């Protein structure tokens, strides 16, 4: 598979997770149409199912790889709208759930690809929630969408978000405005300023939490996550093309010098974990104070 730089990094990051046994059981692949996220998902599924991966790719030779080539693998489930329908219906999710309750037939894991995830109807979402909450055995569920905003918060909060960026900056900007931030670039810009003030100790955690706790918290956590990714990318010295918010490059460079890389990675994970706490009715103000404190300490402890 030919991958652009951004996708290649994503691939390496996922493989590392598999090798450390820290792969999330549910992931949400988000990116513009035709950017390659479906093919990526299929190849990653093949890697997960392969009996003897070679050089961090599926081998193409083993029993599992042969079954995939003939589209008869019993542990790969691809859910998409059936024939003339545009919707993924609840009976498709129910039959998936009952198949997942049985163990994998080839001793490996079970892989589910739902594409496009925004094609599910409300009943299908509700049915999928149960599977996302109580995954049975070794199951990896990948939801694929170009329209993140259409997915219910309950689904988004249970999945680790992975963004697929186009190679070219202009296309990335267009996608970002259309798919993720929508008309909300101003909110992101304000959040960017406030987070930067926080990490540089120019404002307090309480001020930050006061200002943002009544905002859409899920969205805020997603933006915060993207913000951390940009700092990490600057630490790796990537080109401006690879940054979501290249216009803030100067500030990102300053933040990159201030923040410790390992802590930033672990904090990005905490942001994704935090979404689950929201499902348990955790007070958003307290959550933001907790996260704000950890975030602020990153600047001083490294």
Helices (H), the chain: 5-19, 37-49, 63-69, 90-101, 122-133, 153-156, 169-175, 185-199, 205-212, 217-235, 249-258, 261-279, 284-297
Radius of gyration for the alpha carbons in the chain, expressed in angstroms and rounded: 20
53 versus 152: smaller Cβ distance to Zn ion: 53
Shortest Å, Cβ 66 to Zn ion: 8
Binding test (CB under 5 A) with Zn ion, winner from 6, 30, 48, 65: 65
Dihedral angle over CA of 11, 17, 23, 26, nearest 10: -30
26 versus 65: smaller Cβ distance to Zn ion: 65
49 binds Zn ion (CB under 5 A): no
Shortest Å, Cβ 14 to Zn ion: 17
Shortest Å, Cβ 62 to Zn ion: 3
Q: How far apart are CA 223 and CA 22, in angstroms?
A: 23
SS3 at position 156: helix
Shortest Å, Cβ 42 to Zn ion: 14
Stated as kind and residue range, the H or E segment containing 181 is none
61 versus 182: smaller Cβ distance to Zn ion: 61
Binding test (CB under 5 A) with Zn ion, winner from 23, 26, 41, 50: 50
269: cis peptide before it, omega within 30°? Answer: no
Shortest Å, Cβ 46 to Zn ion: 7
Shortest Å, Cβ 52 to Zn ion: 6
Residue 27 makes CB contacts below 8 A (sequence gap 6+) with 140, 141, 142, 143, 159, 160, 161, 162
13 versus 54: smaller Cβ distance to Zn ion: 54
59 binds Zn ion (CB under 5 A): yes
62 versus 104: smaller Cβ distance to Zn ion: 62
**CA 146 centroid distance within chain:** 12
Shortest Å, Cβ 76 to Zn ion: 13
* Tokens representing residue 299 in the block: 């600047």
Binding test (CB under 5 A) with Zn ion, winner from 3, 18, 62, 106: 62
70 versus 280: smaller Cβ distance to Zn ion: 70
Q: How far apart are CA 174 and CA 166, in angstroms?
A: 10
111 binds Zn ion (CB under 5 A): no
57 versus 97: smaller Cβ distance to Zn ion: 57
Q: How far apart are CA 187 and CA 207, in angstroms?
A: 17
Using the contact rule CB under 5 A, the part of the chain among 32-40, 52-60, 145-153, 197-205 near Zn ion is 52-60
Q: Could you list the residues that contact Zn ion (CB under 5 A)?
A: 50, 58-59, 62, 65
């Amino acid at each position: 598979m030919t991958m652009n730089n951004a996708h290649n990094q994503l691939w390496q990051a996922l493989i590392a997770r598999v090798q450390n046994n820290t792969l999330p059981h549910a992931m949400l692949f988000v990116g513009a149409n035709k950017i390659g996220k479906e093919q990526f998902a299929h190849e990653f599924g093949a890697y997960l199912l392969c009996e003897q991966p070679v050089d961090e790719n599926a081998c193409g030779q083993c029993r599992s790889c042969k079954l995939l080539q003939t589209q008869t693998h019993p542990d790969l489930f691809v859910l998409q709208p059936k024939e003339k329908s545009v919707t993924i219906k609840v009976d498709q999710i129910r039959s998936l759930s009952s198949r997942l309750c049985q163990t994998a037939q080839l001793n490996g894991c079970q892989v589910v690809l739902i594409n496009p995830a925004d094609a599910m109807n409300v009943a299908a979402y509700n049915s999928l929630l149960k599977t996302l909450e109580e995954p049975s055995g070794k199951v990896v569920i990948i939801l694929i969408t170009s329209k993140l905003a259409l997915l219910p918060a309950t689904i988004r909060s249970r999945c680790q978000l992975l963004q697929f960026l186009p190679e070219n900056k202009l296309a990335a900007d267009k996608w970002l405005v259309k798919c993720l931030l929508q008309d909300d670039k101003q909110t992101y810009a304000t959040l960017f300023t406030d987070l930067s003030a926080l990490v540089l100790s120019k404002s307090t955690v309480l001020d930050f939490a006061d200002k943002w706790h009544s905002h859409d918290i899920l969205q805020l956590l997603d933006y915060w996550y993207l913000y951390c990714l940009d700092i990490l990318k600057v630490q790796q010295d990537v080109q401006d093309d690879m940054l979501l918010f290249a216009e803030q490059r100067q500030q990102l460079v300053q933040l990159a010098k201030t923040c410790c890389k390992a802590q930033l990675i672990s904090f990005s994970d905490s942001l994704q974990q935090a979404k689950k706490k929201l499902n348990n009715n955790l007070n958003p103000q307290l959550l933001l104070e907790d996260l704000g404190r950890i975030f602020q300490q990153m600047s001083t402890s490294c």
